[in-house]
Structure 1
Amino acid sequence: MMFNAFLTGLLAATAAALPQPLQTRSESGAVETRGSDGGITIVNNMGSDVYLWTTTSDAGSMKTLSSGGGDYTEGWTTNSNGGGISIKMSTSKDKDSVLQFEYTQHDDTLYWDMSSIDLDSSSEFIKSGFTAEPSDSSCRSSTCAAGDADCSEAYQKPDDVNTYSCSLGSSFTLTLG
């Protein structure tokens, strides 16, 4: 009897210690899963603050990444309307001239891209450059060098073909500057 109680307690403690995915739902109905399902960390190595919004069916709340190493992490989000997600980044609180990390989940695959479509050629992001690096070495990274206003690894026009795929369990580090 005492052994059964000990074994039950040991199993419960072991299960509690295992990583558990955490799901939260935003006001727009988007579901975010954190834990073993990957996600993105954005690191700001530029000389100015960066403001970002995770956009689903609404713009989402603004987050601020301080200059010189501020960072932000979130898990992959599913849009309640079936569309994709865009993390919009700007050096202005007015959402002027935005760089976007865009993605959509389908089954166990994450389809993603970097978009400079709404980015001014004089943007701090172009002056500083940026790199999206997945944790899975079999996935493609995307790098736009400092000063490259027409970077071929980011969308410049809506009909470009710069969408990549990766396993949903991959994590990304997007380094600005």
Structure 2
Amino acid sequence: LRFAVKYFANSPDWDNALLIFKDELKKIGVDMKPDPKEWKELLRVYEDRDFDAVVGAWRNGDLELDFFQLWHSSQADEAHSSNHCGFKNKTVDRLADQLRTTFETPDRIRIAQEILTIIHDEQPYTFFRSAEGIICWHNQGPPVKERYIDGLTQSLDAFHPLYNRSKVLYRIHWHFRD
């Protein structure tokens, strides 16, 4: 078996992780070729589904979960959708629709956990790692001044053998207005 993995070229963490993964796969007779891409090209790769394998990262940009865009069957065959792997599952569809009309937190958590269990069991992707963290900010000071916000994220990644065990410092650039 031979396949190429496309990934973001400016990522030393992925350079290192994929080299380790390549060596491990070689032991079982699988030839994996890391294929770094610049960001614009990687976006085209996702949109055109032009890959054997591709490294990606999903981040929920909102505090409220919505699984529709990534996992709903109606998005699987849409050009340029975020459902890059073409995942289809009627139960996930029903639950994703239900989540959009459910407002009680315990019910939303139960629905989200059920969706995530199905995704975990069906493995439409191979999930290398999962990170979680909290970023907080304040809106004080002159509105024209650019400021940086620093935050630390530490998760189960620290226990994964392929991951750099040091804490990751994220620097986010914000423009604030009053």
Superposition TM-score, scaled by structure 1 size: 0.25
Point out the structure with the larger helix share: 2
Higher relative contact order (CA 8 A, sep 6+): 1
Superposition TM-score, scaled by structure 2 size: 0.25
